[in-house]
Each structure stands twice: as C-alpha cells, then as structure tokens.
A and B are shown apart, each in its own frame.
Chain A
Amino acid sequence: MKDNEMKNISPNSTYQEMTPAGNIYGSGTSQMFNTGDWRTATPVWAADICKQCLLCFPVCPDSSIPVSDKKRADFDFDHCKGCGICFKVCPFGAITMKDGE
C-alpha cells in the first residue's frame, strides 16, 4: 500500500485494498475527507460588504476560509460544516447563514 493510494480507498474497496487496521499513511490527509457534505446550514459571504478584517478565518474550526495576500476568498465548501462561528464573529454583517447545503 503506497501513501498515494490512500485516496483510492472507498466504500467499494476490498479488504485487500485497504490498509491494515485502517491505518492512515502520510500527513495532511484530512483534506481528502470532504466534511462539507455533513452541512445543514451554509454561510454566505458578501464580498462587497466584507472589510477584509480577517477576524473570521482564525476561528474557523475546519480551515475553510482560504486566505492569500492578506485577503480572504469565498468559503471552501468541500470542508465547511456550516457551524456559523464566522457568521457570529463578523462585525460587519458580511456573512449570513442560509438553511441547507
């Protein structure tokens, strides 16, 4: 089992294709797990209202607010679980929550 084969393990894999004991090889592999499909509420980012104060991204438990060049971009919805902490922390009302995915 090579590390790069980890991502090929799926609910269709046979016992021979799976790692022993469910061991996970490599690091940073949680990116391969799309926790976003659990989401029951979704944050909506209004780029025109956002002041780029960046209070939201450090409180995100799932690192789902990508930041580059000191500016945030839209959410990573593959991993955002819709917890709403960013919505709560935003001082400018630039994040709203809607029901569902």
Chain B
Amino acid sequence: MSIKERLSGNEAVAIAIKQINPDVMAAFPITPSTEIPQHVSTFIANGEIDTEFIPVESEHSSMSACIGSQAAGARSMTATSSCGLALMFEMLYIAASLRLPITMPVVNRALSGPININADHSDSMGARDAGWIQMYAENAQEAYDNLIQAVRIGEHKDVLLPVMTCQDGFITSHAVENIEILEDEKVKDFVGEYKAEKFLLHKTDNMSMGPYDTSAYYMEHKYQQAVGMENARKAIEDVAADFAAMSGRKYDYIEKYKMDDADFAIVIIGSSAGTAKDAIDELRHEGVKAGLVKIRVYRPFPEQEIADALSGVKVVGIMDKSEGYSNNGGPMGAEVKAALYGNGRNIKAVKFVYGLGGRDVKIESIREVFDNLIEVEKTGNVPAHYQYIGLRR
C-alpha cells in the first residue's frame, strides 16, 4: 500500500532521492530548488542514507562533480534552478555527449533579468537542445513519480542519457499538496542497483573518456547520441508501464484532458495545466467543447502524439511560459506548429506567451485564451503575431 502524505514538490523530490539513495549528490543552493539538497543533506547527516554529498562552490562545479562521479561508475544527482542551470550550460552538453545518465530535478524559475525568483520555463527551455531528456510535472505527485522513472530511463543501456525532471518553482516546489509516496523498498527495487557497463574506476578494464574528437569522427558520435534519444521513446513507455504496474499511476508523453470531442484546445506544460483543467470544466459546463494537451516529455519531443491528439480540433492555442525572442513566440509554439505541419494537419494555431516571472495564471487567464480561440473560429482570422496573456498595455 502506498503512503498518503502531504508534501511540497521539493519535499517530494527529496524523499524520492532518499528512496533512490544515489551514490553521489553534488549540489549548490539556488532558489527555489535549495530545499532539495538541503533535505537530502539532512537525510545523510541523520544516517538515513549513505549518499556522498559534495558541497561545491558553483553549479558549474556541481554538474562537473556529477560528470566525474558518474564516469567513475557512481549514480549521481544534483538539483538546480534558473541561473544555476545557466551556469551549468557547458557541462550539460558534456554530460549528455559523454552518455552519462545523471538525473537532475530542475525547479523552474525565470532566468533573469530583471532579477526574479518565480516560475517560468525560460531556464530549462534554454537547455532543451543540450541532449538531455526533459520531463515536466504538473504537481508534486508527478515531480516525485517522474524522478523515480527518470533514473531508469536515463540508465537504460540503449539510452544512456542524462534526464532533467522539471517542476514549477514555488507553485509546485513550495505548495503543500496531498500526495501518495511509495514504500522505500518498492522504489529501491524499481530503480535497482546502478551498474555501468564501462566506467573509469573498473579494476581491470581500463578506459579513457572525453578525448578530443576530430571532424572525421564527431558527426558519428553526435548521431549515436541522437539514436540514444530515439531509443528513449521506447524506454519512457516501458518504464511508465512498469511504474503503472507498481504504483497504479499511468504516464504517457502527453496527457489528454477532454480531447475526444474538443473543438478548441490548448497545449501547455507544467503547473498551469491544473488551472487550465478547471477552466475547461467551466467551459464544458457552458457548452464549449474545450480540451487540453499537456506535454510531460519535451525531449524527446512527442511530435506524433501531439499531432494525433490535436487532429480533430478547430483551433489550438499553444502556450509558452518562456519568451523565445524569435519575434514569433516561444519554443513550444514553434515545435508544436512544426509537428502539425509535418503531419499535414491544417489546424488554425495561435501562439501565446503567459506567466513569465511568476505572473499569476488564473482560471480567467485560461478562459481569455479560449475566448481568443473562439474568436479565431468565428472570424477565420488567425493573428499573424503571437499573443501575450495577462500583459498590461
């Protein structure tokens, strides 16, 4: 039987780490993810787990320490947010290209400036092309469940890629919610013991990692990485199936909410999906066929799943919690539109930017989006430019 608890997102993730009991945790504090290493170091100090905690002097160092320890053969983790993730930027690529399955909870926070500590996705969206698998949680339960699955996805022998599991800063990381956690033993059995096939501290099989790669070889190594990301698609499905069998909680690349007969839909990531579901319930009550597609796995990008989910809608709104400064909306808007185009779906699509720097996203905010979509359907005019929600002008 799972255990009913009430926890914040950060507490839930820290408990998941305690249950996973990684070999190494190297971390540097940054709001709003600080509580994660704080709780984990407390578990270690209390003798509850035997993880080696490395207190480093920066996030560049925390990721570097994880790379070193994972290369040595140790299951390694860290956690970060915003500017901390940005400071890791160089090392994110090294972790992925060395095929080191490090797991990292990211607590999403605006990437300054002006300086701001609240939620948006500008930090992890900036790292979307670093070669990491990216998963996003709507609430503390998903943040907990995603991290436990992430360990097995990244470490799968056909994948061998690092995974970041994201949750929204403060909204999810600090709000206390009802949650079901698993028994320690179940998590331990689920993630198993980490056994790298090749690692630096092997007693007899010597090896070197990270050599200079000339242009005669580099593309082949980058393609190997792309194959790992492709293989992650099946690993994500298989691990989700095993997780469902253990926990009863089912996960997919995307979550569809009232999409079966939807005329109007939004595509969204993270905590605002919860608010959007309430808005959709209201709209449904009023006779509007509204629905939602929530993206859980952003890398690899579930292009086909999104295109299929949206196949029956009249107008879709794609909602980015980050600016892309492309003058054409955020990254998700571009990729979802490309998914529709690539699958030959001629669906009217409007791109929105919302919730930057923790700007409150209310039921009314989501209703404003749907009002926009309904207007597009009435007039047939799709705005050429992307739209801001909640902007004073």
Contacts and interface: CB of A to CB of B under 8 A. Distances in A.
A and B bound? Answer: yes
Contacts of A11: 216-217
Interface residues of B, number: 20
A20 B159 CA distance: 11
Contact of B224 (A9, A18, A26): A18
Contacts of B207: 23-26
Contact of A26 (B98, B206, B211, B213): B206
A15 B228 CA distance: 12
Interface in A2-39: 3, 9, 11, 13-15, 18, 20-27, 29
B216 A23 contact: no
Given A20-B99, A21-B99, A22-B211, A15 B224 contact: yes
A13 B224 CA distance: 13
Contacts of A14: 220
Which of A14, A18, A21: most chain B Cβ within 10 A?
A21
B221 interface: yes
A33 B220 CA distance: 20
Contacts of B206: 25-27
Nearest to A14: B220
Nearest to A29: B208
Nearest to B223: A15
A67 B221 CA distance: 39
Nearest to B97: A21
A18 B210 CA distance: 14
B205 A15 contact: no
Chain A, interface residues (CB within 8 Å), range: 10 to 19
Interface in B160-210: 160, 198, 205-210
Interface string B245-276: 00000000000000000000000000000000
Contacts of A20: 99, 160, 221, 224
Given A15-B223, A15-B224, A18-B224, A23 B217 contact: no
Given A20-B99, A20-B160, A25-B198, A3 B221 contact: no
A23 to B, nearest CB: 6
A99 B360 CA distance: 73
B98 to A, nearest CB: 5
B208 A23 contact: yes
Contacts of B97: 21
Contacts of A22: 210-211, 213, 217, 221
Given A11-B216, A14-B220, A18-B221, A24 B205 contact: no
Nearest to B209: A23
Given A15-B223, A15-B224, A21 B217 contact: no
A23 B213 contact: no
Interface of A: 3, 9, 11, 13-15, 18, 20-27, 29
26 contacts: A11-B217, A13-B220, A15-B220, A15-B223, A15-B224, A15-B227, A18-B217, A18-B220, A20-B99, A20-B160, A20-B221, A21-B97, A21-B98, A21-B99, A21-B209, A21-B221, A22-B210, A22-B211, A22-B213, A22-B217, A23-B198, A23-B207, A24-B208, A25-B198, A25-B205, A26-B206
Given A21-B99, A24-B211, 15 more contacts: A3-B205, A15-B221, A18-B224, A20-B160, A20-B224, A21-B98, A21-B209, A21-B210, A22-B217, A23-B207, A23-B209, A24-B208, A24-B209, A25-B198, A25-B206
**Across chains A and B, which 8 residue pairs bring their CB atoms closest together, nearest first?**
A15-B220, A11-B216, A27-B206, A24-B208, A21-B99, A15-B223, A21-B98, A22-B213
